[in-house]
Amino acid sequence: MPDKIPVVARRSALKCLGFGAAGTLFALAGGVLTPTSLLAAAADPKGTARLGKPLFVQISDTHIGFNKEANPDVTATLSRSIDLVNGLPQQPELIIHTGDITHLSKPAEFDLAQQLFSQLRATEMHTVPGEHDTTDATVTEYFNRFGKASGNRGYYSFDHAGVHFVALVNVLEFKPGGLGTLGAAQLAWVADDLKGRSASTPIVVFAHMPLWTIYEPWGWGTGDAPQLMEQLRRFGSVTVLNGHIHQIVQKVEGNVTFHTARSTAYPQPEAGVGTGPGPLKVAADQLPGMLGVTSVAVVKHARSLALADASLA
Amino acid sequence: MPASPDVRCSQVSVAIGLTLLVAASSGAASAQTPGAAGATSPPAATRADAAPPIVIARDFMFGPGTITIKAGATVTWKNTDDEPHTVVSDTGLFRSGALDTNESFTFRFDKPGTYHYACSIHPRMVGTVVVE
Task: Please report the domains of chain A, with CATH numbers, ordered by start residue.
Answer: 47-311 (3.60.21.10)
Residue B16 lies in a domain: no
> B50: domain CATH number?
2.60.40.420
Interchain proximity B84–A103, CB inside 8 Å: yes
Residue A221 pLDDT: 94
Q: Is A139 in the B-facing interface, judged by CB distances under 8 Å?
A: no
Given a cut of 60, whether residue A16 has pLDDT beyond it is: no
Interchain proximity B123–A176, CB inside 8 Å: yes
Closest partner residue to A104 (CB to CB) among B59, B100, B122 is: B100
Residue B22 pLDDT: 32
Residue B17 pLDDT: 31
CB contacts under 8 A, B 55-94 vs A, are 59-60, 81-84, 86, 90
Picking from B130, B114, B8, B28, the residue whose alpha carbon sits closest to that of residue B69 is B130
The pLDDT-based confidence of A150 (bands split at 50, 70, 90) is: very high
Give me the mean pLDDT over the A70-85 stretch. 89
Residue B55 lies in a domain: yes
CA distances from A240 to A98, A127, A189, A252 (A): 11, 14, 18, 10
**Bridge partners, A242 (sequence order):** A260
DSSP for A109-169, written as a single string: HHHHHHHHHTT-S--EEEE---GGG--STT-HHHHHHH-GGGTSSS-EEEEETTEEEEE--
Picking from A252, A255, A256, A278, the residue whose alpha carbon sits closest to that of residue A267 is A278
Give me the mean pLDDT over the A137-143 stretch. 93
Give me the mean pLDDT over the A123-137 stretch. 93
Given a cut of 70, whether residue A31 has pLDDT beyond it is: no
Given a cut of 90, whether residue A244 has pLDDT beyond it is: yes
SS3 B106: strand
Given a cut of 60, whether residue B74 has pLDDT beyond it is: yes
- From A171-180, A241-250, B91-100, the region with the lowest mean pLDDT: A171-180
Residue A221 CB neighbours (<10 A): 21
The pLDDT-based confidence of A4 (bands split at 50, 70, 90) is: very low
Given a cut of 70, whether residue A288 has pLDDT beyond it is: yes
Residue A14 pLDDT: 28
Residue B37 lies in a domain: no
Residue A80 pLDDT: 86
Total number of domains constituting chain B: 1
Contacts of A103 in chain B (CB under 8 A): 84, 98, 100
- CA gap B53, B69 in Å, rounded: 7
Given a cut of 50, whether residue B132 has pLDDT beyond it is: yes
Q: Is A103 in the B-facing interface, judged by CB distances under 8 Å?
A: yes
Given a cut of 60, whether residue A20 has pLDDT beyond it is: no
Residue B11 lies in a domain: no
Write the pLDDT tens digit of every residue in B11-56.
333 333 333 333 333 333 333 333 333 334 444 434 444 557 999 9
Higher pLDDT, A219 or A13: A219
Interchain proximity B97–A275, CB inside 8 Å: no
% chain A with pLDDT above 70: 79
Given a cut of 80, whether residue A306 has pLDDT beyond it is: no
Q: Which of A8-12, A309-313, B32-36 has the highest mean pLDDT?
A: A309-313
Give me the mean pLDDT over the A20-29 stretch. 36
Residue B16 pLDDT: 31
Peptide bond into A35 cis (omega under 30): no
Higher pLDDT, A199 or A43: A199
- ipTM entry: 0.79
% chain B with pLDDT above 70: 61
Residue B2 lies in a domain: no
Give me the mean pLDDT over the A236-249 stretch. 91
Write the pLDDT tens digit of every residue in A162-190.
889 999 999 998 777 679 999 999 999 99
> Cα distance from A3 to chain B (closest Cα, Å)?
42
Interchain proximity A135–B98, CB inside 8 Å: yes
- From A81-85, A153-157, B44-48, B83-87, the region with the lowest mean pLDDT: B44-48
Residue B27 lies in a domain: no
Residue B94 lies in a domain: yes
Higher pLDDT, A113 or A296: A113
Give residue B73's domain range.
45-131
Rounded mean pLDDT of chain B?
73
**Bridge partners, B68 (sequence order):** B130
Given a cut of 60, whether residue A25 has pLDDT beyond it is: no
Residue B66 lies in a domain: yes
Residue B44 pLDDT: 40
- CA gap A267, A282 in Å, rounded: 8
Sheet holding B66-69, edge to edge: B66-69, B126-131, B113-118, B88-89
On whether the CB atoms of residues A35 and A41 are closer than 8 A, the answer is no
Residue of B nearest to A130 (CA): B121
Write the pLDDT tens digit of every residue in A41-66.
445 555 555 665 667 888 899 999 99
Residue A226 parent element (H or E): helix A225-232
Residue A264 pLDDT: 87
Q: Is A176 in the B-facing interface, judged by CB distances under 8 Å?
A: yes
Contacts of B116 in chain A (CB under 8 A): 176
